[in-house]
Amino acid sequence: MKFSLPTSVRAPLAGAATLSLLLAAASCVSTERETSTPGRSLRTVYTPPSGKGQRVSGATVLNTVQAEHAFSGAAPDKFQLQLRGPRVLSGRLYLTVLSAQGDTLHREVLPARVLQDSTALTVRDREISVLRGMNGFFNPGRFTAPAGAAPAARPATLSPTAWNTLRTDPQAVAFAYPTAQGEHHLVYSPKLGRAVVLAE
């Protein structure tokens, strides 16, 4: 004996079954899309790129310029000028000269304003002038050989004999650079075996 539901009951049941199947299929498609998308997760935590949001201080490196030039011997020495500080105009310039063997020949700290263009009107223009001054700090024209041709007075820390040795050493090389006290000359004399700072 077959049992049959009335048409008024069968229609709603069929509609409910169809709706359930559609919802299940949609759920499967959604799940498949989520799992097939690489690198995506609702729980992923955003990490800022490195260097963003860091505080600047007097030790923050803003710019570095390097060059190689024959100075203490036949092998070129390494010259480095590094700008450190919270801002360009208030920063300091760290001048370092290393021999080809890695020995420190000279180390000096200068205010960044020595490279500032006094005619610049805006802060941005003054900052640009400092950065441009760094780019040209080690220009070949700043090096003089022999060093005796560089105009300078004998420093008080150098004896007359050592001064004469320095001035007459044909292998001595001088490097001219600006300071807050005017232009200085860094001279390395192979005869003296050390670098000497001379002021005009």
* pLDDT tens profile 134-160: 999 999 999 988 776 666 678 888 888
The predicted model gives 28-47 an average pLDDT of 40
Structure confidence by residue, pLDDT tens digits, 90-139: 999 999 999 999 999 999 999 999 999 989 889 999 999 999 999 999 99
Highest mean pLDDT among 1-5, 71-75, 91-95: 91-95
Residue 132, pLDDT score:
96
Q: Give the residue among 160, 155, 159, 161 at the shortest CA–CA distance from 187.
A: 155
Dist CA 151 CA 162 (whole Å): 17
Tell whether pTM > 0.75: no
